[in-house]
A and B are shown apart, each in its own frame.
Chain A
Amino acid sequence: MTYINNMITDGLAFGIPLFIMAVGAIYSEKSGITNLAVEGFQGFGAFCGAVLATLLGMSTGLGTQTILYLALVMAFIGGAFYATLHALLCIKFRADQTISGVVINILAVALTTFLTSQISGVLYGNASNKLTLDVSARFTVPGISSIPIIGAVFTKVYPFEIIILVIAVFMWYLMYKSRYGMRLRACGENPQAVDAAGGNVARTRFIAVLISGGLSGIGGMCFAYSILSNFSPSIYLGYGYLAIAAMIFGNWNIIPTFFVCIFFGLARAGGSQLCVSMGLASIYTDLFMMTPYILTLILLMFFSKRNHPPKAAGEVYDKGKR
């Protein structure tokens, strides 16, 4: 029983940050900009958040949770800032969007690793590739949490899971109910139509990519504050790519993508719980951690055909093309 409860608790803690990254990817792609840069966005965003958290931790007496919330804001800003690079390359300079995404990921690893060692050198006197962070507090809702199975959802919840869900609801509203969202989705299908209707394709896409970067940054920060408890190059574990896979299975829609992310989270946590329950040595954990990726491969085979990616994603928008 505890294994199942643990699976649910850990699964949500992993799936929800993954979800917000996937929502970021959806924003970019729905606007017509292919986004392979989620990995880089989340890493750079988390780096910015971690730097702020470290500075605040050293110079002020703020509590862990307050620092965490400020770090999340910083991660959003940092991710969005880093995403301007992708937006400029793809929209202004008409670069190939796939290549831009890959380059941005590689650059993020190198840049944040270098900066981390420089900063830790200045702050602690010895250069390390880590910025140590606290682990976020967790809360358990009394009463409901004692219900079997369902109770696990309300057990040891990270506060950021709630924050992410609130943001996601707002993002859903912005995408499907607002004027901006309507134009954004049209930009990803037929930018000419938006142009002819008097909309601004470049601006709409630029904002979408920034949102994408910001949301990814939040996702990265949450991982840094939960499973990693630090910022280091180990943040580039491929969760950004997993978020892209979730977006694809979710058919570029926010609600189905939510369920896919939760499913990935449960699969990952289930794998590790299975390992524990069988009493295997910890080296086997890595084997079980592969579960989401293997699932990705299998699901890709079945879902790729029926999907409808945004039609104009990946194409450079050329006003003159008729």
Chain B
Amino acid sequence: MSGKNEEYIVEMRHITKRFPGIIANDDVTIQVKKGEIYALLGENGAGKSTLMSMLYGLYEPDDGEIYIRGEKVVFKSPSEAAARNIGMVHQHFKLVDNYTIGENIVLGIEPMKKFLGFIPYVDMKEANEKISRLSKEYGLEVNPTDLISDINVSIRQRVEILKMLYREAEILIFDEPTAILTPQEVEYLLKIMEELRKGGKTIILITHKIEEIKKIADRCAILRRGALVDILDVRTTSTQEMANLMVGRTVELEATKSAAKFGKNVLSVKNLCVRNEDKVEVVKNVSFDIREGEIFAIAGVSGNGQVELADAITGLMKAESGSVSLLGKDISGETIRERNRDGISYIPEDRQKFGVFMDFSLRDNLTIRRYYKEPFSKNGIFRFEEARKYAERVIERYDVRSGQGPKTVMRSMSGGNQQKAIVGREIEEHSPLIIFVQPTRGLDMGAIENIHRDIIAERDRGAAILLISLELTEVMGLADTIGVIYNGQLLKIADASELTSQDVGRYMMGVTEA
């Protein structure tokens, strides 16, 4: 094995990486050509990020070899990978909030100059000029003197890309880059990637979104449970094929639902205004109704008042003005427990903070909404046996995977299974109104499919559903009615059939005229 194969710029051969209890990568071999966009497709926990972390020097493989431009390498740290012109945009940006864009980009390789010929100092002026040049070359518009805390996620991502380019990276790794972007921003990013490919860069794209791969990638490696399933030519493979390979069985790409049958009004929100802790108005004069059997989805970019809206309906936050009525009864002044009893179920965005007690057992978490009522309590005494039996039923019904059944401590379970438990608990209330906030965030395709099926089943039972999601595909797939929130205002409410995802995306950016 000479390893001299000039065609491939990156080769990872027979890579195996074990973590306590699991094999993250099992004998994976991938070869990436210079100048191509190579996608890594797989569900959460399939081992994509681990594999790339080894290429970027964050971990060392237990077995296997890495070759860059035909030369065998062993990376002990990211800086060693960077020296071989490898750069990575992480899923969670690594930026210093109170630094300027320019300062973030040069951090670690600061250009120095000498004041009076002997006092060295960091020369931001020259750095900013170089950044401006680079940003023009690739169409990545930024103003180097802006503070990171003042710019949005899309621009922050541009900063991360510029960081790699400033370091003269040739091999660019993108870890789930579109997860946090609006459709318009995704288009923009894909265009930038094209631009980078034209500039001779090699791109490795980690994602679980098949549409993006279809749009931009040349080849695609599919990982499942740490093992390489297949390497495909993207042009000649269908979306359905890729999805099936990724999950390991036939998946329904679109949730199927029957025609809606709306009943009477369940939730009525009128002129609701909410202020946050800093007294800033975050929900502005919002009004809408949800009927029985209706899924009302609120689309919007993160941080536009969605969470506060849900919290004001459930009582976690106080409304400044306006009213919330449930089944014709004004509940604006009620406590959280009163609202629960009236019939609101809530799947919160931050499930670990507001959804469960991490150090309580599954049994306690599943009965927490009703522990003080019969059959779980009688004459003020808790009946463990009843609780256990109930927990077992919910675990079985919602396929919650837990090590020790009802006794399992929540913290020891995976995020997906925690979410299934919460969804099960809330749905079992059979409430007239169920509020889902980001119900599938961080879950993999199989789990998403299940939760979507549950949501539709509840709607068909006649529940009113408020779905708040940042995932546009989820909104488009499930909603009967769509409301788009921007800067605390509902800019548009319309029947789902009247809007395309492009329309919704435009409203999400605050554009009102079509």
Task: Give A residues with C-beta under 8 Å from B.
Answer: 173, 177-179, 182-183, 185-186, 189-190, 192-199, 308, 311, 322
Of B107, B119, B120, the residue contacting A193 (CB under 8 A) is B107
Contact indicator B107/A194 (Cβ below 8 Å): yes
The digit string for B60-102, where 1 denotes a CB below 8 A from any CB of A, is 0000000000000000011100100000101110111111000
Of B79, B88, B122, the residue contacting A182 (CB under 8 A) is B122
Contact indicator B79/A198 (Cβ below 8 Å): yes
Question: B361 to nearest A CB, angstroms?
Answer: 26
Contact indicator A193/B95 (Cβ below 8 Å): yes
Q: Which stretch, B108-116, B236-244, B402-410, touches the partner chain A? A: B108-116
A interface SS class: helix
Q: Does B121 make an interface contact (CB < 8 A)?
A: yes
Contacts of A195 in B (CB 8 A): 78, 94
Contact indicator A193/B78 (Cβ below 8 Å): no
**In the bound complex, how far is the Cα of B108 from the Cα of A179, in angstroms?**
8
Contact indicator B78/A196 (Cβ below 8 Å): yes
A-B contact pairs, 28 of them (CB 8 A): A178-B120, A178-B121, A179-B120, A179-B122, A182-B110, A182-B122, A183-B107, A185-B99, A186-B96, A189-B99, A190-B94, A190-B96, A193-B104, A194-B108, A195-B94, A196-B90, A197-B94, A197-B107, A197-B109, A197-B163, A198-B77, A198-B78, A198-B108, A199-B107, A308-B98, A322-B90, A322-B91, A322-B92
**In the bound complex, how far is the Cα of B404 from the Cα of A62, in angstroms?**
77
Q: Does B103 make an interface contact (CB < 8 A)?
A: yes
Of A173, A178, A183, A193, the residue contacting B94 (CB under 8 A) is A193
B124 (CB) vs chain A CBs: closest residue: A182
Contact indicator B96/A193 (Cβ below 8 Å): yes
Contacts of A185 in B (CB 8 A): 96, 99
Of B96, B110, B120, the residue contacting A189 (CB under 8 A) is B96
Contacts of B107 in A (CB 8 A): 182-183, 186, 193-194, 197, 199
Contact indicator A179/B99 (Cβ below 8 Å): no
Question: A29 to nearest B CB, angstroms?
Answer: 14
Of A178, A189, A197, A308, the residue contacting B108 (CB under 8 A) is A197
B103 (CB) vs chain A CBs: closest residue: A182
Contacts of B95 in A (CB 8 A): 190, 193
Contacts of A178 in B (CB 8 A): 120-122
Contacts of A311 in B (CB 8 A): 97
Contact indicator A198/B82 (Cβ below 8 Å): yes
Contacts of A196 in B (CB 8 A): 78, 88, 90, 94
Contact indicator B110/A190 (Cβ below 8 Å): no
Contact indicator A198/B109 (Cβ below 8 Å): yes
**In the bound complex, how far is the Cα of B78 from the Cα of A190, in angstroms?**
17
Question: B81 to nearest A CB, angstroms?
Answer: 10
Question: B72 to nearest A CB, angstroms?
Answer: 22
Question: A317 to nearest B CB, angstroms?
Answer: 13
Known interface pairs A177-B122, A179-B122, A322-B90; 7 further A-B residue pairs with C-beta atoms within 8 A, sorted by A's residue number: A178-B120, A185-B96, A186-B107, A195-B94, A196-B78, A311-B97, A322-B92
**In the bound complex, how far is the Cα of B108 from the Cα of A183, in angstroms?**
7
**Which 7 A-B pairs rank lowest in CB-CB distance, beginning with the nearest?**
A197-B108, A198-B79, A193-B94, A196-B94, A177-B121, A198-B108, A197-B107
Tally B residues with Cβ within 8 Å of A.
26
The answer to whether residues A199 and B94 also contact, given A177-B122, A182-B122 and a CB cut-off of 8 A, is: no
B121 (CB) vs chain A CBs: closest residue: A177
Contact indicator A190/B97 (Cβ below 8 Å): yes
- Max chain B Cβ within 10 angstroms of own Cβ: one of A192, A193, A194: A193
**In the bound complex, how far is the Cα of B113 from the Cα of A178, in angstroms?**
10
The digit string for B427-471, where 1 denotes a CB below 8 A from any CB of A, is 000000000000000000000000000000000000000000000
**In the bound complex, how far is the Cα of B92 from the Cα of A192, in angstroms?**
10
Question: B339 to nearest A CB, angstroms?
Answer: 31
Contacts of B79 in A (CB 8 A): 198
**In the bound complex, how far is the Cα of B78 from the Cα of A311, in angstroms?**
24
**In the bound complex, how far is the Cα of B121 from the Cα of A178, in angstroms?**
5
- Max chain A Cβ within 10 angstroms of own Cβ: one of B95, B103, B163: B95
Contact indicator B122/A186 (Cβ below 8 Å): no
**In the bound complex, how far is the Cα of B111 from the Cα of A179, in angstroms?**
9
B278 (CB) vs chain A CBs: closest residue: A305
Contacts of B92 in A (CB 8 A): 192, 322
B119 (CB) vs chain A CBs: closest residue: A173
Question: B315 to nearest A CB, angstroms?
Answer: 26
Contacts of B110 in A (CB 8 A): 179, 182
B95 (CB) vs chain A CBs: closest residue: A193
**In the bound complex, how far is the Cα of B96 from the Cα of A272, in angstroms?**
45
**In the bound complex, how far is the Cα of B82 from the Cα of A195, in angstroms?**
12
**In the bound complex, how far is the Cα of B119 from the Cα of A78, in angstroms?**
28
Contacts of A183 in B (CB 8 A): 107-108
Chain B 248-276 residues near chain A, CB threshold 8 A:
none
Contacts of A192 in B (CB 8 A): 92, 94
Contacts of A179 in B (CB 8 A): 110, 112, 120, 122
Contacts of A177 in B (CB 8 A): 121-122
**In the bound complex, how far is the Cα of B119 from the Cα of A311, in angstroms?**
30
**In the bound complex, how far is the Cα of B103 from the Cα of A189, in angstroms?**
13
Question: A32 to nearest B CB, angstroms?
Answer: 11
B107 (CB) vs chain A CBs: closest residue: A197
Question: B443 to nearest A CB, angstroms?
Answer: 18
Contact indicator B121/A199 (Cβ below 8 Å): no
The digit string for B109-136, where 1 denotes a CB below 8 A from any CB of A, is 1101000000111100000000000000
**In the bound complex, how far is the Cα of B96 from the Cα of A197, in angstroms?**
11
**In the bound complex, how far is the Cα of B358 from the Cα of A73, in angstroms?**
52
**In the bound complex, how far is the Cα of B91 from the Cα of A198, in angstroms?**
18
Question: B57 to nearest A CB, angstroms?
Answer: 10
- Max chain A Cβ within 10 angstroms of own Cβ: one of B91, B110, B112, B119: B110
A311 (CB) vs chain B CBs: closest residue: B97
Question: A54 to nearest B CB, angstroms?
Answer: 38
B59 (CB) vs chain A CBs: closest residue: A320
Question: B278 to nearest A CB, angstroms?
Answer: 10
**In the bound complex, how far is the Cα of B110 from the Cα of A86, in angstroms?**
29
Contacts of A190 in B (CB 8 A): 94-97
The digit string for B31-43, where 1 denotes a CB below 8 A from any CB of A, is 0000000000000
Question: A268 to nearest B CB, angstroms?
Answer: 33
A190 (CB) vs chain B CBs: closest residue: B96
Chain B 347-377 residues near chain A, CB threshold 8 A:
none
Contacts of A186 in B (CB 8 A): 96, 99, 107
Contacts of B122 in A (CB 8 A): 177-179, 182
B110 (CB) vs chain A CBs: closest residue: A179
A177 (CB) vs chain B CBs: closest residue: B121
- Max chain A Cβ within 10 angstroms of own Cβ: one of B88, B94, B95, B110: B94
**In the bound complex, how far is the Cα of B107 from the Cα of A311, in angstroms?**
18
Contact indicator B90/A199 (Cβ below 8 Å): no
**In the bound complex, how far is the Cα of B88 from the Cα of A196, in angstroms?**
9
B83 (CB) vs chain A CBs: closest residue: A198
Contacts of A182 in B (CB 8 A): 103, 107, 110, 122
Contacts of B120 in A (CB 8 A): 178-179
**In the bound complex, how far is the Cα of B312 from the Cα of A132, in angstroms?**
67
**In the bound complex, how far is the Cα of B120 from the Cα of A28, in angstroms?**
23
Contacts of A199 in B (CB 8 A): 107-108
Contacts of B77 in A (CB 8 A): 198
Question: B153 to nearest A CB, angstroms?
Answer: 15
Of A189, A194, A197, A322, the residue contacting B98 (CB under 8 A) is A189
